A and B are shown apart, each in its own frame.
Chain A
Amino acid sequence: MFKFNKDILTNNFRISQLIQKYNQREDYPIVDNKILTAKKAQTFNVPIPENLLFIETHGQLKPKLEILSKLDDSFVVKPSEGTQGGGILIVDKVSSTNDSDHIFHTTRLGSLNIYEFKHYLSGILSGLYSLKGHKDFILIQEKISNINVFHEISPSGIPDIRIIVLLGFPIMAMIRFPTLLSGGRGNLHLGAVGSGIHLQSGKIFHSIQNNRSIDIHPDTGKQLLGLKIPLWEDVLELAARSSEIARIGYLGVDIVVDKNKGALLLEMNARPGLSIQLANQKGLRGAINTVLKKAPPDLNYKDRVKWSLENIK
């Protein structure tokens, strides 16, 4: 039994041998705080979903709400330091009533009038969803339009692709499909589907939900096994590039594919979980050792992807 174990990345190893050695504490805010990530990403020319505005204080609420209520498109409200989808609110449409009042239409909370909506925003600013419970900022982001393939599979939400990048080299990937059970969120422990992606081909080769193997999406019955991720090359290269914006050697990169804009960096994680190993039915240690022992330094992101595809099997 012990032989098989050696390939699994354990929490103890992750903390002492990866996070402590390769992740710079000072750069954590860049990945933990979505506004900082966005700002940094722009200077590095890394494509991200367009941010419409930031709200940083309660005082800004009123003027910024006015701008928001005039928006035509749907948009997404996010706490800057939220995790696991906490506090994220998708506003599909803003309509105005006869007495020039505004109604914000959401799926999760139904229709909110301007006071209810303002109250929701001020909750975020007070740190209701923040990692540390202190004051937080709000990010208003364009809504990603799901590509058709994915929409057919999981209409309940946008799937995101998680790629583990070690020292700039992508080493393992999975895609997380929201389900009804997970409430449209992409968290495996809430019941989302996690599918391991074959690095070289970009095809799904194994899927799990709640730690059990499945072949089809439970909500729609669509086949997952063998599905090829669109724009796979772009996704890998984006992951490799994203890792340059912070000195986080062991990094989880979350990427979404937009119908019009292609692969976009959604967020990053400095303490990526171990569950990707379950979706892939494979341990990470092999790939980690390969990179740590053999990876050549000073490659650009394209060459790093190429190297990974050749060396990590």
Chain B
Amino acid sequence: MNKKAISASFVLILFSLGILLYKIYVLKIPFLPYKSQNNWRYEIKINKNTYSLIENQLAEKIYLPIPPNLENQQLTELKIENMKYGTISDAPNGKLFVIDKETLQKHKQFKIEANIVISNKRNPIKKTTLDEESRIKYLSLSWLTEEELNLVKALNNSLIFKEDSPQSVLDKITYLLLDEFVIKPEITDFREVIEMKNGDSLSQAKLFMALCRLNNIPSRISFGTSVIDAENEKKVKHIRLFINEYYVDNKWQFFHPDFPNIGTIPQNFLLIHRDITPELELLNSRDFYSIQVKPVRKTFFDSKEYFENTIIKHDNYANFSLYRLPLGTQSIFYTLLLIPIGTLILSIARNFVGLYTFGVFTPILLTLFFLETNFLTSFLFLLSVFVVGIIMHYLLNKLYLLAVPRLSIMLTITVIMYVGFALLTSIDDNVNTSSTYTLNYFPIVIVSVFTERFMILLKEEGLRNTLTTFIGTLVISTLCYFVFSINILNLVMFNNPELLIITIALNILIGSYTGFRLNEFFRFKELLKK
């Protein structure tokens, strides 16, 4: 290895570490930003079998709730299928998409999809005022039948004394529900619920609400779902929850037996609608609605807030910070900044291992393709393009075509295959409802580059070399895919782009390595033995 290269890379490494250390110790900008938010995709739709319910079982109006914007949840995107057939009612407690019974029976597909950013910070609950009208509404017990009301009163008398302060009233109600209430989803008759202190989650919330209201504490039931924050995991459990809110000390506070943090906003909780009135109780029915919540971006932190709280304090540095970029652009750079790491992997694979790939950047492009779409399907797609390409190669050889028309044919076939794949992979989506289906140019561009490269190689170097090169390409792009999927790496590079200089330094070192490649150990095995 030559000295010039070593010292050049040494200088670069020092330079980049210098910036890094200066940032961490002098500017006090942390190596990694805290993460505080998660991006979720919420979906609610009316189930198919609902339509087969006999007419008089359906309510006059059916509601699909749209999650409200709250301190720790932000709606970023909203899509409503067949929106023109319903109306949106803008209630203060959350929007509702309202559909008439008849419309529902005619246009059977209704679905709401929304992107929601949920922050997991323990925000203190803000004070709000409650006007007289709302106060009366949240104290009303008119939803109980006479008999139910008497039962609740009896329960209340056995529990609460006149001299109890509001706080101890709440404590008592809370403990009653925590200690004695047993969840039995099959019990929904409210009389039974009060007497036995058994029932489903909605009845439990109703009991809490009834007791609160009886003691002059405004109270309501909110509906939501718990999202268990499973980083990187595609499957996330979500449970429908009816959660109580009560108004004390000028604050709406939350209560639910499953959330230990009484008095704060529940964590990992998506609030879908506030104040469940009897007509919304249908949300409880799994037969009627299906609700899905999926994580969209694995870890995400509030980059705007991070910029404002941490970075902007340092005028000079802030000018260079990537956090200044618009959010959409930022998310592109999460991936773009990893490309140098991919090329670093490629350099290592070429010069230390002896792995060959189609062109230098094709493997990286393929990685982006994998990231953009689904890994398994795009992998299979590539494999099939490869196989078809080889067959086409032999067929086209018989025709003695010129190079460009030859490639055009192959690219046309690639496009046709892509269409086929798009159809195949969306088979379980309902085709006629796919107004929301968005197709990107990006994957087909990448696959075309790949196809061109590989057809040329096939022609120049034959099947054997092409096959090894193909395998090399797949190995690299798969490896890069998994490396690129490491969240923490995304964050590290985005937060500390100066590390890119280190990759240059490493490339200088790799580039000046003149020793053996792994494959040469096998090639010169005989010679080495001597």
Contacts and interface: CB of A to CB of B under 8 A. Distances in A.
Interface of A: 1, 4-5, 8, 10-13, 16-17, 119, 122-123, 126-128, 131-134, 211, 213, 274, 277-278, 281-283
A281 B526 contact: yes
Contacts of A12: 351, 513-517
Contacts of A278: 523-524, 526-527
Contacts, number: 66
B459 interface: yes
A59 B29 CA distance: 71
B4 interface: no
A207 to B, nearest CB: 13
A32 to B, nearest CB: 13
Interface string B492-530: 000000000000000000011111110010011011101
Given A10-B516, A10-B517, A126 B528 contact: no
A10 B530 contact: no
Given A4-B530, A11-B517, A16-B511, A134 B403 contact: yes
A13 B514 contact: yes
Contacts of B456: 133
B431 interface: no
Contact of A133 (B459, B512, B526): B459
Contacts of B514: 10, 12-13, 16-17
A128 B460 CA distance: 8
Instruction: Give the interface size class of chain B.
Output: 20 to 34
Contacts of A1: 528
A4 B516 CA distance: 12
Nearest to B512: A16
A-B pairs, top 7 by smallest CB distance, nearest first, are A13-B514, A12-B514, A133-B403, A123-B400, A126-B402, A10-B516, A8-B524
B197 to A, nearest CB: 77
Given A133-B459, A278-B526, A10 B403 contact: no
Contacts of A274: 520, 523
B464 to A, nearest CB: 9
Contacts of B512: 16
Given A1-B528, A8-B524, A119 B513 contact: no
Nearest to A282: B527
B257 interface: no
Kindly name the residue among B459, B512, B527, B528 whose own CB sees the greatest number of chain A CB atoms within 10 A.
B527
Contacts of A128: 400, 459
Interface in B454-508: 456, 459-460
B403 A11 contact: no
B403 A5 contact: no
18 contacts: A5-B516, A8-B528, A10-B514, A10-B517, A10-B520, A11-B517, A12-B515, A13-B514, A13-B515, A16-B512, A16-B514, A119-B400, A126-B403, A127-B402, A127-B403, A277-B524, A277-B527, A278-B526
B354 interface: yes
Given A10-B515, A10-B517, A4 B400 contact: no
Interface string B387-430: 00000000000001111000000000000000000000000000
